[in-house]
Structure 1
Amino acid sequence: MTYIQQGTPEFRKASFGLFIGAWVTFTILYCIQPLLPAFSQHFQVSPAVSSLSLSVTTAALAIGMLFMASLSHRYGPKRLMTFSLLASAILVLISAWVRDFASLLVVRALQGIALAGLPSIAMGYLGEEVDPKSLGYAMGLYIAGNTVGGMSGRIITGMISDWLSWRWALGFLGALGVVLGVVFWWILPVARNFQPRRVNEPVRQRFRRALGVYAGHLRDTGLLCLFGIAFLLMGGQVALYNYIGYQLMAPPYRLSQTAVGWLFVVYTVGTFSSAWMGRVADRHGRRLTLWIGTSTMALGALITLPMGLVWKVLGLAVFTFGFFASHSIASGWVGWRAAGNKAEASSLYLLFYYMGSSVGGFCGGLFWSAFAWRGVIAMILGFTVLAMGLQMRLSRLTRTVTAASSRGGTV
């Protein structure tokens, strides 16, 4: 195999191309998060129901990724990722002019299916194309694109919806997504290690083969632990960001939509932590780095409990640092743990990741309605404690694998 080496023009193009792709994907996915209070007011729905505009998208994305990984073997990763970006951007333009909340949910679900083409393939593309010695850094840069996209999309919609309306905000992001989708196609290197698989086999046989691959990954206890960690940590992250806006736009804070949108600038902390902690993991090991990330998330959630606005912002920043550090380590760990079919392993990781987003986002609304902000934080802390339990199990498995490998054993 010919790998892309760090420091080469191909590495810079691959990193920047996937950064753009991640930016568009996560801008589109999360741009409506600061708009949830506006949807509650405009469509006259509760916070939990309003959160479905995000939950249905992440759920559809999670399911769609199971099929997109297999389609990449037929059409090629670059072609499918480009289609994903352009189709999802066009659907954002459509969502800007829906007339009722049910129609918005339908379009957002279609967006989730379209968006599945990039995250389901991007990590597998990096795992197959980039030199393993630089994979942690490359994965960190890709995750950094996630954070920048998630941050800027929220800021843009918050500002434009205050100045004009939420419809104009979505329309602007849709048009921008189309332009950047074209740039992505132009700059991303074609996969050199890509091997098409049985393009002429019957659909039923291909489906059975894909199910067999997924079942094999689900029998790996270590991968199951990583999938569970993704579910729990993402569920907590989405719950925190979904409902902080409801609290800060109400008394005693009474922040504007623009001000709430600008709170997401703390995502720059995640941009730094994902790349930096990826390098730390390359040097000092994944187990310790993942523990640090998850513990930092719990600390950040606790810091948001006091009423002062400064504590809210500080807690968001600390939580975000820990979340993206944990996500970059866990996602890279999946590629290392899977012996083969890395794209399918990444898809399963992201299936659990985005199902966690859907479940945590909706359940957070129930906790918010019943117990206010303390209820949301209690749910998040419960998720992080469960994730730590899975990390303990994963650490024991990793030590067993390392000991067997040092003895020349088979694992």
Structure 2
Amino acid sequence: MDVPHLSDPWAGHQRGSTEYRRLLAALFCAGVATFAQLYSPQSVLPLIAADLNTGAANAALMVSAATAGLAVGVIPWSMAADRIGRVRAMSMSVTAATLLGLLVPFAPSYELLLAGRFVEGLLIGGVPAIAIAYLSEEIHSDHAARAAGMYVAGTTVGGLLGRLVAGPIGEVAGWRIGVLSVAALCGAGALGFVRLAPLPRGYDPARERSHTAGVLHKLATNLRSPRQLALFAQAFLLMGGFVAMYNFLGFRLVAAPFHLPQTLVSLVFLAYLAGTWASSRAGAEATRFGRKRVLLASIATMIAGVTITLSDNVFVVLAGLVIGTAGFFGAHAIASGWTGREATVGKAQASSLYNLFYYGGSSVIGWLGGVVFDAAGWTAVTLTIVVLAGVAAASALALLRRD
């Protein structure tokens, strides 16, 4: 059961302790179970477009529908977590999402596929909505930035596995079987979270049952903070640009002048390993140089990487993808962890708002990038991403304090 023990002041688990390691391992498993199935269609979007006879933008709705559902679900999940406890809510989320993920690929029509993906996103939302709040309440504040970076690194591994598994299997057996295979793998991740997650000690859900009217106040307080709004802007703008980059680079690589097969295109997602490294590295560097400096440096790295993908040399394009991926995940690791630290009240609601903007950007810009791509090609998509990242950097520079 999700029963805390708050008789003594709780400072959080220290780095290196057994509970610290179990918590990060549990969140790693949850990240695999959720992010693998969330993004598994991304590596087979050209196959989906061909099978369903749609353009790039409509195929990308397979990703956007799920991230839209996640964006809608994060605040209700944060409210549920306040009432029933962090671990219990996350366990329900990851288990239900995995079970539904086994059914969605076999929806008989495009409309039902999108509806199923939307509901899948709603269920998935419990993990990102709660994870950072759970982590920030359970880990000692001296190690929170590093732990947040490690959690984001785990989510990159989940996203990478989903894409690497779905792509090659999809080319051989069809995209539906590719996506189904990922959902089956997610079952192991869900089980790992349920078995490993330590019982929370930093939050008492019983207190919140008598203060449910405070939820709106917590949301409003975070939305009134200029610094929180700047962090939410990072989530919307950077995530939107990042998803657009990965959604439509595959369409470019299977066409002239590259003409790469789908299996090789799927391997470009190995660039996610740069994000795994950058996430954990950014958290560590933030303790040395401050969050703001590392955030701005990460955004600059993302802009440089995206610009490099304009090359017609496939190896240069892949190098740009690696650099851009490292920059994005470094920025995300800093901004997501900073959101919980910045919240004076309602850490779960602050985390949920961050995720609302994060996945809202994924849904909206991830789809609009396809409209831009269909109309004007990859150069226009690249310019769009650079502009979005520039606006994110400007807001961070103007509104965020050195920390």
**1:365 counterpart letter in structure 2:** G
1:287 — aligned with what? 292
Counterpart-to-counterpart distance in 2, 1:44 and 1:358: 21
Unaligned runs of at least 5 residues, structure 1? 403-411
**Residue 133 of structure 2 is aligned to residue 124 of structure 1:** yes
1:51 counterpart SS class:
helix
Opposite residue 91 of structure 2, the aligned amino acid is T
Question: 2:155 corresponds to which residue?
Answer: 146
Query: How far apart are the structure 1 equivalents of 2:260 and 2:101?
Result: 27
Assess if the C-alpha contact under 8 Å between 1:155 and 1:261 holds in 2.
yes
Give, in angstroms, the shift of residue 200 of structure 1: 5.3
Corresponding position: 1:389 with 2:394: yes
Aligned equivalent of 1:351: 356
Stretches (4+) displaced over 6 A? none
User: Does residue 1:8 correspond to 2:8, yes or no?
Assistant: no
TM-score, normalised on structure 2? Answer: 0.95
Q: CA deviation at 1:254?
A: 1.6
Q: CA deviation at 1:345?
A: 0.4
Give the secondary structure class of the aligned counterpart of 1:7.
Answer: coil
Q: 1:95 touches 1:170 (CA, 8 Å); kept in 2?
A: no
Query: Contact (CA 8 Å) 2:232, 2:358: kept in 1 or not?
Result: yes
Instruction: Choose from 231, 252, 255 the match for 1:247.
Output: 252
CA contact (8 A) 1:297 1:322 kept: yes
**Counterparts of 2:288 and 2:191, CA distance in 1:** 37
Greater CA drift, 227-236 or 82-91: 82-91
Q: Choose from 73, 81, 89 the match for 2:90.
A: 81
Task: Find the aligned partners of 2:231 and 2:82 in 1 and give their Cα distance.
Answer: 24
Deviations, residues 230-249 of structure 1 (Å, cap 9, x unaligned):
10000100000000010111
Report whether the alignment pairs 1:323 with 2:297. Answer: no
The within-5 A match list for 1:269-288 is: 269-288=274-293
- Could you tell me how far apart the structure 2 residues matched to 1:116 and 1:334 are? 17
Which one-letter code corresponds to 2:199 in the other structure?
V
Hey, what's the Cα distance between the residues in 2 that align with 1:237 and 1:151?
14
In the alignment, the residues of structure 1 paired with residue 206 and residue 251 of structure 2 have an alpha-carbon distance, to the nearest angstrom, of 48
Distance across 2 between alignment mates of 1:2 and 1:338:
17
2:49 corresponds in structure 1 to: 40
Deviations 1:21-78 (A, max 9, x none): 1111110111110111111111111111111111111111011001101101222111
Deviates more, 1:175-184 or 1:56-65: 175-184
Residues 152 and 265 of structure 1 are in contact (CA less than 8 Å); yes or no, is this contact kept in structure 2? no
Q: Matches of 1:211 and 1:136 in 2, distance apart?
A: 27
CA–CA distance in structure 2, aligned partners of residues 113 and 125 of structure 1: 19
Counterparts of 2:88 and 2:336, CA distance in 1: 23
Work out whether 1:342 is the aligned partner of 2:347. yes
Rate the CA distance shift 1:217–1:197 in 2: closer, same or farther, 3 A: farther
Preserved contact between residue 221 and residue 345 of structure 2 (Cα < 8 Å): no
Q: Distance in 2 between matches of 1:171 and 1:56?
A: 17
Contact 1:2–1:192 (CA under 8 A) maintained in structure 2: no
In the alignment, the residues of structure 1 paired with residue 217 and residue 82 of structure 2 have an alpha-carbon distance, to the nearest angstrom, of 16
Aligned equivalents of 1:49, 1:171: Cα separation in 2:
21
2:27 maps to: 18
Cα contact 2:104–2:113 (8 A) shared by 1: yes
Q: What's the offset of the Cα at 1:2?
A: 4.4
Paired residue secondary structure (2:205): coil
Report the CA distance between 1:211 and its aligned residue.
Answer: 2.0
Answer whether contact 1:48 1:363 (CA < 8 A) is retained. Answer: yes
For the Cα contact (< 8 Å) 2:65–2:363, is it kept in 1?
Answer: yes
SS at match of 2:102: helix
How far has the Cα of 1:393 moved from its partner? 1.4
The one-letter amino acid paired with 1:32 is: P
What is the aligned residue count? 394
How far did residue 163 of structure 1 move? Answer: 2.0
In 2, the alpha carbon distance for the partners of 1:35 and 1:84 equals 25
1:185 counterpart = 2:194: yes
- Local SS of the residue matching 1:254: coil
Q: Which residue of 1 aligns with 2:77?
A: 68
**d(CA) in 2 for partners of 1:85, 1:65:** 13
Q: 2:68 is paired with a residue of what secondary structure?
A: helix
Look up the SS of the partner of 1:280 in the other structure.
helix
Gap change, CA 1:193 and 1:240, over 3 Å in 2: same
Contact 1:136/1:278 (8 A) holds in 2: yes
**How far off its partner does 1:199 sit?**
6.2
Identical-pair percentage: 37
Q: Compared with structure 1, are the counterparts of its residues 315 and 72 closer, same or farther at alpha carbon in structure 2 (3 Å cutoff)?
A: same
Deviation at 1:251, TM superposition (A): 2.1
TM-score where L is the length of structure 1: 0.93
Query: How far 1:212 sits from its partner (Å)?
Result: 2.0
